[in-house]
Structure 1
Amino acid sequence: MALSESAPSFTSFRALGFDVFSTLIDEPKALVTAIAPLVSQLSEDHEAKNSSAIAGAAFGRHENALQQKEPFMIFEDVLSAAYRALAREWHVKSDDKDANAVAAILSRSSAFPDTVEALHVLSKHYKLIALSNVSEKGIATVMSGALKEAPFDAVLTAEKIGSYKPDLRNFETLMGKVKDLGFEKEELLMVAQGVASDHVPSKRLGINSVWISRDRPESERGFDGIGAEHAGNVAFGWRYCTLGDMAKDVEKSFAAGSS
């Protein structure tokens, strides 16, 4: 759904940048499994005991903090360290085997049901570029597994870039890749679930973006649900609950343009 009548037509873009985890891959579901050994030790009255969203957000805080503090730390090590940090925060025991398994669980998690089909639809009209906070090893697992049939034209990782999103270098690298493909920044559209990781830096660099809200209820509209801390810091022009919904609108736009 376009959030403004002044939003450009989907036909004006030539390349799509994609966040991978939580946009294409069901990271929240996998994370429930990964941190279950910690959650199981919490008292029944702990807020994270019966809320996967709260538990996942707690893990995410540690993951994001480590990524910004240690931009050259490999993705797998970031996740293991975040697991141990969360255990300390919750005052529960952390097993090394469980901590080291987090990356494998996430990298082998499933794609959302709409992901691969939607990517094939979108690939008829755009070049597709993945921009992920992951290692070369991690993205190789994803691309040979859940996204094996996904028609990406390029894949960019935090390990290769040397920083994690929301660092602007990651998005500058994306823009460079778009340039290599023969297009301009104005022809790039970023597609992502992550608000702080993707939409905030996109606005800073003047990149148009689409919010795939995934975990937000259909009853919310527009910018609802982004969080007060991000108000005024994002400027995505479209919002969809799924990538499949976006793909349908893209098809309609190109069909109308050719009629």
Structure 2
Amino acid sequence: MTLVPSSTPLTNFTLLTFDIYGTLIDQETGLSTALLRSSHLSTLAPTHPYKTSRSTLLRAFAAHERAIQSAHPTMLYRDILASTYKRIVQDLVAHNEPQVDEEGLEEAAQDFGRSVASWPAFPDTVDALKRLGKRYKLAPLSNIDRESLAGTLANGLDGAGFAATYTAQDIGSYKPDLRNFEYLFKHAGDDFPGLFGFEDEGEGEGEEVRREKVKGRILHVAQSLWHDHVPAAQLGLESVWVDRGGVLGSKLEGEVVEKARFGWKVGSLKELADIVEEAWAKEGK
């Protein structure tokens, strides 16, 4: 992963797009809490690696989640979670943990899939979004389904003030697929033509010209190197790495992190809001 300081003034951007889970929502706490409270993992011995090491638990989750997303790009995220839960439990059974009945497994898997709405926001998230919303339009570009995102918006992100939402369910694929970002460029230009200098929806503008204008005014804000910053670098999309210091999205990436490039690095969304306000103040705006 490489910080290549951007020469683009922060005041030049008009739309901030966000990865939600891991960047705005404390995905690691939400996942680990839901897993350890589940009927199958709660009964594990206190010395089991899943109970003594959150990193071990999250690594097991991430390995299965990524494989399922890759094999089933149109599967709803809540069903991705349910399938991931089943594979974790099946691994436990394969390692001589107690057998489980299929009906109980299905019920527990569905409960885990619905847990997204209860995952907490990071403490700095909502206030920082409100501050950033004074300068830019805000929109998530998230590996999520619409129903799960609605639960998050009604709970942890209540008051976030998003102008639009772009989900994996809308697009039919999961990041890091480049289609997710191309969808963003097309639909953001259509949804907010005024943000990008279009007098109307495309009259007199070639498709590639529109795409470049849109891309040049978007700043993508994300924690995950693999899901977000690698594809952003491939497409020449400016980005901010919010390094939350967790396991998912950074330390799990292995060699692929060397492909990640970003123009800014912050430790929290509050830090980004501070930097943005300072940049605008310098220009007297």
Q: TM-score, normalised by structure 2?
A: 0.81
Change in Cα spacing, 1:154 to 1:234, as seen in structure 2 (3 Å) is same
Separation (CA, whole Å) in 2 of partners of 1:87 and 1:226: 21
Change in Cα spacing, 1:45 to 1:75, as seen in structure 2 (3 Å) is same
Moved more, 41-50 or 140-149: 41-50
Q: Deviations over 1:220-246 (max 9, x none)?
A: xxxx96854124311111111110111
Classify the secondary structure of the residue corresponding to 1:72. coil
Q: Is the 8 A contact 1:130 1:156 kept in 2?
A: yes
Q: Deviations over 1:81-134 (max 9, x none)?
A: 101111222334563222111122222222111111100111111111111111
Q: Is the 8 A contact 2:61 2:88 kept in 1?
A: yes
After the TM superposition, which residues 95-134 of structure 1 pair with which residues of structure 2 at under 5 Å, given as runs? 95-134=105-144
Q: Is the 8 A contact 1:79 1:102 kept in 2?
A: yes
Give the Å deviation of 1:47.
3.9
Residue 88 of structure 1 is matched in structure 2 by 90
How many residues get paired? 252
Separation (CA, whole Å) in 2 of partners of 1:146 and 1:6: 31
Is 1:196 paired with 2:226?
Answer: yes
Separation (CA, whole Å) in 1 of partners of 2:268 and 2:54: 20
Classify the secondary structure of the residue corresponding to 2:175. coil
> Structure 2: where are the runs of 5+ without partners?
197-213
Larger Cα Rg: Structure 1 or Structure 2? Answer: 2
Moved more, 60-69 or 4-13: 4-13
Identity %, equivalent residues: 37
Task: Select which of 79, 84, 97 maps to 2:81.
Answer: 79
> Structure 1: where are the runs of 5+ without partners?
218-223
- Residue type of the partner of 1:176? K
After the TM superposition, which residues 116-195 of structure 1 pair with which residues of structure 2 at under 5 Å, given as runs? 116-180=126-190, 181-182=192-193, 183=196, 184-195=214-225
Classify the secondary structure of the residue corresponding to 1:152. coil
Q: TM-score, normalised by structure 1?
A: 0.89
Task: Select which of 229, 234, 252 maps to 2:255.
Answer: 229
